[in-house]
A and B are shown apart, each in its own frame.
Chain A
Amino acid sequence: MNNVSQFVQKYRQASWRVQLQWLVLFMAGLVVIAMVAGLYLSVSIRATQAGREIQALKKDILIGQRMNADLALNLARLTSSQAMKSRALALGFKPLEPEQITYVAVAGYTPPTAINLARLKTPQLAPIILPEYSLSLFEWFADMLQSTPPTSSWQP
């Protein structure tokens, strides 16, 4: 029994050493917490900046759309029926009478049809967030496999 207590006493660390270990452990914990907090802050700042940027870009788009609408309207006013008629008359043009027209057959001529505005209108904007940021790893891998081009057959 005495031998046992001597053994334990021999291998027990000095109290100052235990305190130091606890201190180091505590400091290490603090460093880890600080790192996590720092990382969280960094990500938060970037997310915030991106959020603000999105809001600013949205506003820019809105301003751009309004400018486009204003410019389209101004252009339409400048080329309105009355404006074009006044300009044509000022340039010395006169309305055409039916008997002044000479009709000529032109092979392959296609008369103009009504306008197709769908060609002129901007298509729907693609989503800003790329699929890579919203796909799971599994989905991304599956997509990659599907989009891999077939290997060409070997030719001598």
Chain B
Amino acid sequence: MKNPHTWRYLTIQFMLAVFGFSILLQIVRVQNSAEVKDILVASGMFEGQSVTYYPSRGEIYDRSGHLLAGNETVYEVGLDLNVMKDLNPSNLAAFQNNIALAAQLYLDMTYREALEKMMNPPEGAVYIVIADFVPAEKAEKLIKLRDDSVYNPIGQNLNGMHFKERLQRSYTEYSLASNLIGVVPPQDERGHSGVEEKHNNLLAGTPLTVWVPANPILARELTDVPAGATLILTILRDVQAATEEILDAAITNTGAESGSIVIMDPKTGEILAMATSPRPNLNDFANYGNTLSSEHPLNPAISKPYEPGSVYKIFTMAAALEKGVVKPEDTYWDHGIIIISEVPIHNWNDTVWGLQDMVGCLRHSINTCLVWVASQLGKEDFYSFMQKFGFGHTTGIDLADEVSGYLKFPGDQLWHPLDLGTNAFGQGVSVTPIQMVMAASSFANGGRMVYPHVLYASVQDGQQHNTSPQVVGSPISAATAHTLNEMLAISLEAEGSKAVVPGYRLAGKTGTAEIPTTGGYLDSVTNASFIGWGPLDDPQFMVYVWLEKPKSSLWGSEVAAPVFKQVVERLVVLLRIPPDNVRLQLAGQ
């Protein structure tokens, strides 16, 4: 029998089917709509967040393991402005007063400064920074105060105050080796100057960006962010400190404007100390400008070229010996004057030395003799050798801000035949102390010139990678190096130089240079220098001293040579180098 109500059932079924189908249709439509991408992006914002982890900056040590640069915890102290939103005027005043008082007591700021920050926040800000880079001991006191007063009434609590930890670069030795280390200023993740800039990529490490899901079920083991590489420098802290002390005393005693002392191992190119003046306190970046200027850069030993004067004569003599145009016993008759390109050149104190051999020329630092030697060598060979010694180019030392100095070559627009004569005794050419040390390393190292460097090793992932010594050229032969060493040692001993250190046979040369200006050379101020190395049979150190504009005496032999002696006397103790007789005796046992 046919059910009379069948049409009703069919109608309901049809309507339900239509309803179900429309739902399916809507699902398909929504999933393919234009807005779906925006919806997905919006929903994705609540699924988690992308977090970038910055590795802690690598530490810097000296080669004995003394920490020179590390990181310390500092705090950003801020205020949640929402806390102040619902306060009535009297409560608001009490709250702000309390925060400003706390800031005055613990954050090294005035009450008014703190109050103004709270009363004049940036438009739309919900959080303001009251103080940044707050030392941990101060911030921790404030945190305790806030936590202890949470339930106190308004005006007697610090609710709303927030503290964010971060690491800040800190230098344990303050100004020691500051010229060499460089600095990472607060609010800047990048190193400036010195090792901090040159090896910034190693020290800073590689930031890691990871997705941190909001759903804790999805939380997984995060990859550890390796810290930046730890660097070990070639310098010895105690040698650096002693050298700086000697330099500071020399500047005070001689009235020099500034100075530099570079100590290098001539066999490996490792810089053992690099003292300069003035030196800023690296932890007091705000006052950097008070210490440094364009006249006094952070590291004049690599970035302030100057005309070296007579110390440069050793390169002229070395080139002539290597080329074979002179021998130590060759003689030169000094008349106290020599004419080059119709320009007379005199000796440094207008003395006439008469007949001299080449040792005598170096011993008395006779300008005319070295001009004659350079003329015997010829301009092509002279400048070819100067290029081989690396002058006119940077040494490539692993420190930021190195400059190349200036050496004109025949064919250059500004080169004049007179330059050959003046360059022969170190005028008309500008160099940096580090260039001089690198070039002279060939004398102390059997003719091989080594690359100067300050990075002893880098440590990363539990592995230490030591820097290998590099020979950058051999401008002269071992025989020439030996001959020149003997000539310089004899001249130093015969001269009765103030650089002589009893018990140690050393080679060395003084330098006194007039200072060029746009109006010509000044003869009232000089650059006084001394370069020396030893012990002569097994050189373990090379010392370069430069005093800028000394007042007590103009001469390098008077002001720079005694500084060299003081440095060597400290150095042989700190490096445990016995006197020659003891060393040879011990070696023979």
Contact = CB atoms under 8 A, between A and B. Distances in A.
Interface in A26-61: 44, 47-48, 50-52, 54-55, 58
B172 A80 contact: yes
A101 B66 CA distance: 25
B48 interface: no
Interface stretch (B248-256, B422-430, B570-578): B570-578
Contact size range, B: 35 or more
A116 B172 contact: no
Contacts of B67: 72-73, 75-76
Given A69-B73, A81-B237, A105-B589, A111 B576 contact: yes
Nearest to A128: B221
Contact of B459 (A50, A85, A118, A124): A118
Given A73-B67, A101-B573, A125-B224, A55 B219 contact: yes
B571 to A, nearest CB: 10
Nearest to A51: B219
Interface string B124-167: 00000000000010000000000000000000000000000101
A68 to B, nearest CB: 10
Contact of A81 (B238, B464, B569): B238
Contacts of B232: 114-115, 117
Given A118-B462, A118-B463, A98 B219 contact: no
Contacts of B226: 124
A87 interface: no
Nearest to B219: A51
A80 B173 contact: yes
A72 B70 contact: yes
A115 B72 CA distance: 23
A98 B72 CA distance: 40
Interface in A100-129: 101, 103, 105, 111, 114-118, 121-125, 127-129
Nearest to A111: B576
Given A52-B219, A115-B232, A98 B63 contact: no
Nearest to A81: B241
B170 interface: yes
Contacts of B457: 114, 117
A66 B165 contact: yes
A70 B173 CA distance: 15
B481 to A, nearest CB: 26
Category for how many chain A residues contact B: 35 or more
B410 interface: no
Contacts of B459: 117-118, 121
A116 B238 contact: no
A77 B70 CA distance: 11
A95 B573 CA distance: 10
B217 A65 contact: no
A88 to B, nearest CB: 11
B269 to A, nearest CB: 15
Main secondary structure of the interface of B (DSSP, over half): mixed
B172 A98 contact: no
A98 B503 contact: yes
Nearest to B213: A51
B142 to A, nearest CB: 17
A97 interface: yes
B70 A118 contact: no
B464 to A, nearest CB: 4
Contact of B56 (A65, A79, A80, A103): A65
B274 interface: no
Contacts of A97: 569, 573
B91 interface: no
Contact of A115 (B61, B70, B572, B589): B61
B176 interface: yes
B221 A129 contact: yes
A103 B172 contact: no
Contact of B65 (A47, A117, A122): A117
A66 B167 contact: yes
A115 B586 contact: no
A69 B71 contact: yes
Interface of B: 56, 59, 61, 63-67, 70-73, 136, 165, 167, 170, 172-174, 176, 216-222, 224, 226, 230, 232, 237-238, 240-241, 456-457, 459, 461-464, 501-503, 569-570, 572-573, 576, 578-579, 582, 586, 589
19 contacts: A54-B222, A58-B222, A66-B73, A69-B70, A69-B167, A72-B67, A77-B172, A81-B176, A85-B241, A97-B569, A99-B502, A111-B576, A114-B456, A116-B464, A117-B61, A121-B230, A124-B462, A125-B224, A128-B221
Interface of A: 44, 47-48, 50-52, 54-55, 58, 65-66, 69-70, 72-73, 75-77, 79-82, 85, 95-99, 101, 103, 105, 111, 114-118, 121-125, 127-129
